[in-house]
Amino acid sequence: MENTSKVTKKIFKKVEKAKSRQRIIGIIMFAIGMLIYFVLSRNTSPDLETLFVMTPGGSDVTTPDITFNSLLITNILAILCVLAGIFQYIKGFGKFTNIVLVLVGIMLTISFLTWGASGGSINVGGMLRIMIVRSVPIVLGALSGILCERAGVVNIAIEGMMITGALVGAILGSLFGLWIGALSAIIAGGLIAVIHAILSIKYKVDQIISGTIINIFTIGITSYLVTKILQEREWQYLNESGIFLPFSIPVLSKIPFIGPILFDHKIFVYAMYILVIVLTVALFRTKWGLRLRAVGEHPKAADTLGINVFKIRYVAVILSGMLAGFAGSYFSLGSAGYFNQSMTAGRGFIGLAAMIFGNWTPVGALGSGLLFGFAETLADNLQLLNFPIPSEILLMVPYILTMVVLAGVVGRSRGPAAAGIPYEKESL
């Protein structure tokens, strides 16, 4: 039986490996702590101070700025991360693991900013405000993806729907005003989605291929229209929509620190907040959401209960397109004031990454959209502050994280089971 016990031991080793996620995360936290100490603290001279400006520029709700000794703070944060890592390795934070991981990430960011701005100042409030703005198209794109994939249709065409929305919003916005512009962007996105729906639901075309051709088609036709028409002098009045003006929410915008960051924006930001809440409730608390998720997981089961799989999928895809169209109108009507053929810059695809990173939930999409938005903001600020790191490297971080999540090293992301598979009724 000696052989067996050896085998058993080895098996237990395997089993332990199966539970080793906890330890890997512990090691990651520990490594972050060490990184802060050896890379950041060691390169900070002890007498420098960092000034964190907590009020976004131009806001009248002021929050006192924070000044502190750069070295002291980075050291404290390094120690906290190392301690968290050791605790995680030995005992584990259990269900709080992800929260602690996020805190460690925030501590890394703070140390990084402290170090980068040591001897100077950085407008943290302003950065957070811009993070919110930057995340809008990403989060809306992710919500669009969630709606579609939860019903079992992969929507890789979000980028194309966005660019269509941006163009249509700009043209009709120039002609009839911003609200009509936004509305027509939503409708345009929905119409593009109808193509995707018919191809992938009725004709059962591979959804990736359908999405890809829509992307190529819409990107092609929008740049054609821009270069051949909108850039001509006599047609330029079609591309001067202007932008929605920001307005602050009464009371909420007066809350110190978070008020100006969260509640002093354009309509798109508020729409993002509302849509995250509405979609969460709709997907997980209503009859419609239950049926939609059922169709995305096991359409045949839904069909045998008398649920119209095709109808639910059509509705989901079209709503997804409308959301993407709205996200597109952000670029022309919320940001630039005109249409430009490269303005979406892959945000639709980034939205899909945020959808996966957020595990196909609206709240998760908001979280990951904010993270991606922050990375963009940070990258912009790096150039301003002359940080010795190329901003392109920083911009890669969110996508590396997405790959890590997909590979299942830290947490696991699991999408709807039937996403991407056309439903055939007669194959029962």
Partner 1 sequence: MEPILELRGITKRFPGVLANDHIDLKLYKGEILALLGENGAGKTTLMNILYGLYSQDEGEIFVKGNSINIQSPTDAIHAGIGMVHQHFMLIPVFDVTENVMLGNEYTKPGGFLDKLKAASHVRAISDQYNLNIDPNAIIEDLPIGLQQRVEIIKILFHDAEILIMDEPSAVLTPQEVEELFKIMHSLIDQGKSIIFITHKLGEVMECTDRIMVIRGGKVVGESTPEEANPETLATMMVGRPVELKVEKELSKPGDTVLQVENLTVVNKNKKIEIDDISFDVRAGEILGIAGVQGNGQTELVRCLTGLIKAELGTINILGVNSTNFDPRKITELGVAHIPEDRQKDGLVLPIPVEDNLVLNTYYKEPFAKGIVMQPDVITNNANELIDDFDIRTPNSTVSVSGLSGGNQQKVIVAREFSRPIKLLIASQPTRGLDVGSIEYIHRRIIEKRDEGCAILLVSTELDEVMQLADRIAVMYRGKILAIVDAEIATKEELGLLMAGISTQISGEKRKPRKVREIVT
How far is it, in rounded angstroms, from Cα 85 to Cα 410?
14
**CB distance 230 to 239 below 8 Å:** yes
Q: Per the structure block, which two tokens stand in for 142?
A: 């992710």
Least distance (Å) between residue 89 CB and partner 1: 19
Q: How far is CA 243 from the centre of its chain?
A: 23
Residue 4 or 45 with smaller CB distance to partner 1: 4
Position of tokens 């906290």? 80
Residue 392 or 426 with smaller CB distance to partner 1: 426
Binding site for partner 1 (CB under 8 A): 3-4, 7-8, 10-12, 14-15, 17-18, 285-288, 290-291, 293-294, 297-298, 300-307, 414, 417, 426, 428
Least distance (Å) between residue 359 CB and partner 1: 12
Least distance (Å) between residue 321 CB and partner 1: 23
**Which residues, in sequence order, are CB contacts of 84 under 8 Å at separation 6+?**
29, 33, 93, 100, 103, 104
* Nearest partner of 136 among 255, 231, 276, judged by Cα: 276
Least distance (Å) between residue 300 CB and partner 1: 6
Residue 397 or 406 with smaller CB distance to partner 1: 406
Q: What is the 3-state secondary structure (H, E, C) of 369-415?
A: HHHHHHHHHHHHHHHHHCCCCCHHHHHHHHHHHHHHHHHCCCCCCCC
Neighbours of 333 (CB within 10 A): 31
Least distance (Å) between residue 315 CB and partner 1: 14
* Nearest partner of 202 among 295, 107, 303, 313, judged by Cα: 313
**CB distance 134 to 376 below 8 Å:** yes
Residue 10 or 228 with smaller CB distance to partner 1: 10
Position of tokens 């069909």? 303
Residue type, 289: G
How far is it, in rounded angstroms, from Cα 165 to Cα 158?
10
How far is it, in rounded angstroms, from Cα 267 to Cα 259?
16
**Which residues, in sequence order, are CB contacts of 336 under 8 Å at separation 6+?**
243, 343
Least distance (Å) between residue 292 CB and partner 1: 11
Residue 125 or 299 with smaller CB distance to partner 1: 299
Residue 76 or 282 with smaller CB distance to partner 1: 282
**CB distance 94 to 103 below 8 Å:** no
Residue 233 or 414 with smaller CB distance to partner 1: 414
Least distance (Å) between residue 183 CB and partner 1: 25
Least distance (Å) between residue 285 CB and partner 1: 5
Least distance (Å) between residue 130 CB and partner 1: 37
Q: Cα-atom radius of gyration of the chain, to the nearest Å?
A: 24
Q: Per the structure block, which two tokens stand in for 226?
A: 């821009």
Residue 98 or 286 with smaller CB distance to partner 1: 286
Residue 369 or 422 with smaller CB distance to partner 1: 422
Q: Residue 339: left (phi > 0), alpha (psi -120 to 50), or beta?
A: beta
Least distance (Å) between residue 81 CB and partner 1: 28
What count of Cα atoms within 13 Å lies in the side-chain half-sphere of residue 300? 9
Least distance (Å) between residue 329 CB and partner 1: 28
How far is it, in rounded angstroms, from Cα 325 to Cα 187?
7
Residue 261 or 292 with smaller CB distance to partner 1: 292
Residue 176 or 288 with smaller CB distance to partner 1: 288
